[in-house]
Structure 1
Amino acid sequence: MEFQYIADLVGKGVDGVGVVVIVVGVLVATVVAVVRLARREERIYQAYRRRLGRSILLGLEFLVAGDIIRTVAVAPTFTSVGTLAVIVAVRTLLSFSLELEITGRWPWTKSSGAASTGAPKDG
C-alpha cells in the first residue's frame, strides 16, 4: 500500500470518529435531558446546551485533525493548504464561540470556576 492511500484512510477514519463523537454526544445529552425532564429537575436547558456544545467541540477537533492529515500528508498543494487554512479558521471561530456559550468566557481567559459564571454543575 502507498503512503498517500494510508494517510487518506487515516484522515477519513479520524473524520468518522469526529462525526461519531458528535452524534453520540447529541444522543447522550438528549437522553440525559429527557430523564431530567421526567424527574422535573431544574436548569435542564443549560445543562443540555453545555453537553451538546462539549460534544460538538470535541467532534470539531477530530474533524480538523482529519482535514490536516488528508491535506498535508496526501496532497500538499497551495490550493489544498489554502482550503485547509479557511476550514481551520472557520472551525476555530466555531470552537471559540461554542466555548464562550458553554463557559461564559473566552478560551484564553483564566477559569475562576462555575460559581463566577453562574453556570450550574452538570448533574
Structure 2
Amino acid sequence: MDFHELIESAGALVDLAGVAAIVAGAVVATIIAGTGLLQHRPSVYEVYRQQLGRAILLGLELLVAADIIRTVAITPTFESLGVLAVIVLIRTFLSYSLQLEVTGKLPWQSAPAIPAKEPAAPWRKPGPGG
C-alpha cells in the first residue's frame, strides 16, 4: 500500500466516522425524544433539537477533517485548495449556525450569566412553602 492509498483510506475512514456520528446521534436523539414523549416530559422538542444538533456538529467536524486530509495530503493544487476552502467555509457556517441553535451563544461568547436570587428582606418572614 503506497502513501496515496493510505491517505485515501484514512480520509474514507474519517468520512465514515463523520457519517456514523450523525446517524448514530440522530438515532439516539430520536429514541430519547420518543421516550420523553411517552413519559409526557416537557421540553422534549428542545432537548431533541439540542442532541440532534450536537450529533450534526460532530459529524461536520469529522467530514471537514476528512476533506482536509485528502486535499492537503493527496492533491495540493490551487484548484483543490480552492474547492476545500469553499467546502470548509460552508461547513463552518453550518457549524456556527448549529452551535448558536444548540447553545444559544456563539463559540467565542462566554456562558450566559445566571441571575442570582434576590435575598429575602430580613424584616420579611417567609410565607407558606417558602
Q: What is residue 90 of structure 1 aligned with on the other side?
A: 90
- TM-score scaled to structure 1, two decimals? 0.90
Higher helix share: 1
| Deviation string, structure 1 residues 68-117 (Cα, Å, up to 9, x no partner) | 0000011111110100000000000000000011111111111136x57x
CA–CA distance in structure 2, aligned partners of residues 52 and 60 of structure 1:
12
CA–CA distance in structure 1, aligned partners of residues 83 and 44 of structure 2:
39
Are 2:55 and 1:55 equivalent residues in the alignment? Answer: yes
Are 2:34 and 1:31 equivalent residues in the alignment? Answer: no
Unaligned runs of 5+ in 1: 117-123
CA–CA distance in structure 2, aligned partners of residues 14 and 80 of structure 1:
19
CA–CA distance in structure 2, aligned partners of residues 78 and 5 of structure 1:
22
CA–CA distance in structure 1, aligned partners of residues 78 and 59 of structure 2:
26
RMSD, aligned α-carbons = 1.1
Which ranges of 4 or more aligned residues in structure 1 deviate by more than 6 Å?
A: none
Q: What is residue 121 of structure 1 aligned with on the other side?
A: none
Are 2:16 and 1:3 equivalent residues in the alignment? Answer: no
Q: Map of 1:67-86 to 2, 5 A cutoff?
A: 67-86=67-86
Q: What is residue 110 of structure 2 aligned with on the other side?
A: 110
Are 2:21 and 1:17 equivalent residues in the alignment? Answer: no
Which residue identity is paired with 1:94?
L
Q: What is residue 42 of structure 1 aligned with on the other side?
A: 42
Which residue identity is paired with 1:42?
P
Equivalenced residues, count: 115
- TM-score scaled to structure 2, two decimals? 0.86
Greater relative CO (CA pairs within 8 A, separation 6+): 1
Offset of 1:2 from its aligned partner? 1.1
CA–CA distance in structure 1, aligned partners of residues 33 and 73 of structure 2:
41
Which residue identity is paired with 2:102?
I
Unaligned runs of 5+ in 2: 116-130
CA–CA distance in structure 1, aligned partners of residues 8 and 71 of structure 2:
9
